Amino acid sequence: MKRVMLAAAAAALLLAAPAAAQNYHIGAVLPNSGPMTSFGELFRNGADLAAEHINSDKILSKPFSINHEDSQGAPQAAVTAMNKLVRVNQEPVVLTAMSGVSKAIAPIGDREKVVAINGGGVAPDLAKLGPYFFNVIPLVNYEVRALLPYLAKEKKVKRIALVYVEDPLGEAVQREISELAPKNGMELVGSFSLPSQSRQFAPIAAKVREVNPDAVYVAYYGQTMVALIKQMRDAGMDKLLVSYSAFNDPDMMALPAAEGSVYSSQKMDWASTDPVTARFVADFKKKYGKTPSFYNANYYNAVWVTGKAMASLEKKGQPITGETIRNELLAIKTFDAVGGKMEFQPDGTVSMPLQINELTGGGTKVLN
Amino acid sequence: MLLLQLLVDGLQLGAIYALMAVGFAVIFGATRVFHYAHGTSYVIVGYLFYYLAERLHLAWWAAAAAASAAGVVFGVLLDRWMYRPIQRDEGSFFTVFVASFGIAVVAENVIVILFGASFVSISTPLTRANDIGGGIVISHLGILSMLIAVGLFTFLNWFLAKTDVGVALRALSENPELVRSFGLNPRKLSQYAFAIGSLLVAPAALVATCVTGLTPTAGHRVVLISIAASIIGGIGSLRGAGLGGLILGLAESLAVWKLSTGWSEAVAFVILFAFILARPSGLFGSKARV
């Protein structure tokens, strides 16, 4: 019996030793292929830079890394990737993006007590998605509420049309504009929905031209939205195009047809002197050779606050699990992040200021 | 006005679909190979055209010619180095299809590595619509695509009816043994079919790269449209595939006249199902032929 006990103790020690030496790691289910790939690259670049900063600052006692899995921008593939990260890799935190994908993986996070952090999806129902689901990006309903008064006041828009994707994001924008347009002295003169896999948009342009709006709100995303804008312009739709933060996409900025479009986004001042933002901007330019976008910043923030919460748990001598990280995020509540203070709300959203932008000369100009 | 505009849009779209479908129909009709990588030929032509014209600033006609040639070479090499060895080993129709599908997936990933997964298009004033009266707009490239479609169909009909190779290709689809007994080489004819079929998809790829833009995954839709058009027109029928493509383009566009815009692409496939149920042989397909 004594020998068995000794053998068991030795085995436990052998098993425990590598476990103690294991690095800290979190997972990411981001679109690394498919029509959202250009966004996936933005998300990944920001997240990886934060991991580098966490390691170089030695805020944790062990090296920190991110295990990336490809969501392909599709809920089904994302669920498979999430199951692998949660059950095989035992990740306590998983980064997610896009509304449909985030809604698909959130129940797994809740069930397995794994924190999911979204920095790219903006459908309003991403709020209150569960106790383990956090957003580090303002949701689209807040963006619409900021943009419509600006359009009414500054651009004198009286008649607005909407082209939207048939998914939770598009339908949320449709509800929001239907409700808010009359309150801002506007008439919603037409709502045109399209499946997310549509490729031909000339007929939509004809329908939009027929209702003769002052501005067209486009609630779409990814490469399909780039194709939509190009085809609508080519088909003679020359009215003001307006949208939400998805217009902050390198492909969209490079598209001549999108020139002059107006869109809302979270506020981000790259010239800010606050230490977190200044360091992020400088190191991002050094690493990737370009100015960051706010999607880069969101995923940097998602990883950065995770590292801070883990460091706080280490300091308190508490175990690092999904449950303890969640509790620590809510306990700390306000973080110094890129763009300024970031404060988590009880419903899993963040409060952040917004800005109105214009696409011009292949870049973005802040209007308001 | 809306109806007329949708009709014009539908004709432009139908011309592009018809070009896609006819290339597929030529290959399938003559060789009975389910050439899924037909969509890959389309994507190769489109991306090469984009690269040469937009990035290397080659003259558009030189870029178009080089890209089209690359599409033809891809089709011919695939027939020679992939389909033929499988068929030589008595690989089934399904084996050839899986091999073709595999090539399409590999090629898609290679294109992502070479060009990235982003949307690409060629900026040209030719895609901007002009008012032709009564508020109806059409671009120069839209007119050109319709003219190209008509010109190519006329040429192809003449080629298949009047030239030795054309007649031999038609015979190949009916009876390969008979072709052999006349001293013709079915392998050689098969390569002609792949060359012509791949060449036919090139104008569609060139126009679409400018008009709708291109992504590495675009090839799957090309095959889907080609199959749908071939079924509507009658499997193996060249006229049928062309007409099927035109019907699909018109249906997609005209559907939004009275229905919600979300029905646009669904309506085209409702028509396909209707044909499968009511007339499985298609418009011109009493039996397979080129």
Three-class secondary structure assignment of B109-136: HHHHHHHCCCCECCCCHHHCEEECCCCC
Q: What is the pLDDT of residue A124?
A: 84
Taking the C-alpha atoms of residue A95 and residue A117, their distance in angstroms, rounded to an integer, is 5
Say if residue A19's pLDDT is above 50.
Answer: no
- Answer with the residue of higher pLDDT: A25 or B94: A25
pLDDT band, residue B201 (cuts 50/70/90): very high
Q: What is the pLDDT of residue B112?
A: 83
Q: What is the pLDDT of residue A317?
A: 93
SS3 call for B212: coil
Average pLDDT over residues B111-126: 82
Cα–Cα nearest to B107, from B72, B68, B74: B74
- φ and ψ of B231, to 5 deg: -70, -45
Q: What is the pLDDT of residue B259?
A: 84
Q: What residues does A119 pair with on adjacent strands? A: none
Cβ of A198 and B12 within 8 Å?
no
Q: How far is CA A301 from CA A54, A134, A273, B269, B275, in A?
A: 11, 12, 17, 45, 54
Cα–Cα nearest to A62, from A22, A91, A94: A22
Alpha-carbon A28 to chain mean position: 12
pLDDT band, residue B64 (cuts 50/70/90): very high
Average pLDDT over residues A177-192: 94
Q: Are the C-beta atoms of B52 and B67 separated by less than 8 Å?
A: yes
| Beta strands across the sheet bearing A334-337 | A334-337, A340-344, A350-351
Alpha-carbon A238 to chain mean position: 30
pLDDT band, residue A13 (cuts 50/70/90): very low
Instruction: For Cα atoms A310, A313, A315, give the angle at the middle one, nearest 5 degrees.
Output: 110
Does ipTM top 0.85? Answer: no
Q: What is the pLDDT of residue B168?
A: 85
Say if residue B289's pLDDT is above 80.
Answer: no
Contacts of residue B13 in chain A, CB cutoff 8 Å?
200, 202
pLDDT tens-digit readout, A320-351: 999 999 999 999 999 999 988 888 888 888 87
CB nearest to B262's CB, from A35, A195, A223: A195
Contacts of residue A259 in chain B, CB cutoff 8 Å?
none
Cα–Cα nearest to B218, from B228, B208, B210: B208
Q: What is the pLDDT of residue A14?
A: 47
Q: What is the pLDDT of residue A358?
A: 94
Q: What is the pLDDT of residue B125?
A: 85
pLDDT tens-digit readout, A270-307: 888 899 999 999 999 999 888 888 889 999 999 999 99
pLDDT tens-digit readout, B258-282: 888 778 878 888 888 888 888 888 8
Q: What is the pLDDT of residue A20?
A: 42
Q: Are the C-beta atoms of B270 and B50 separated by less than 8 Å?
A: no
Q: What is the pLDDT of residue B91?
A: 67
Q: What is the pLDDT of residue A211?
A: 93
Taking the C-alpha atoms of residue A290 and residue B107, their distance in angstroms, rounded to an integer, is 30
Cα–Cα nearest to B107, from B130, B144, B125, B82: B82
- Answer with the residue of higher pLDDT: A115 or B239: A115
Highest mean pLDDT among A7-11, A240-244, B220-224, B232-236: A240-244
Average pLDDT over residues B131-135: 84
Best B261, B263, B265, B267 residue to mutate vs chain A (most A CBs within 10 Å): B261
Say if residue B200's pLDDT is above 60.
Answer: yes
CB nearest to A223's CB, from B2, B215, B261: B215
Q: Report yes or no: A362 at the B interface, CB cutoff 8 Å.
A: no
pLDDT band, residue A10 (cuts 50/70/90): low
Which A positions 183-212 lie with beta carbon below 8 A of chain B?
192-195, 197-200, 202-204, 206-207, 209-210
Q: Which of A97-101, A172-176, A188-192, A259-263 has the lowest mean pLDDT?
A: A97-101
Best B4, B5, B248 residue to mutate vs chain A (most A CBs within 10 Å): B5
Say if residue B107's pLDDT is above 50.
Answer: yes
Contacts of residue B139 in chain A, CB cutoff 8 Å?
234
Best A43, A223, A237, A259 residue to mutate vs chain B (most B CBs within 10 Å): A223
Q: How many CB atoms lie within 10 A of CB B114?
A: 10
Residue of B nearest to A237 (CA): B129
A-B contacts at Cβ under 8 angstroms: 101
Contacts of residue B209 in chain A, CB cutoff 8 Å?
none
Q: Are the C-beta atoms of A60 and A310 separated by less than 8 Å?
A: yes
Strands A93-96 and A24-30, by their bridges, are parallel
Average pLDDT over residues A28-53: 89
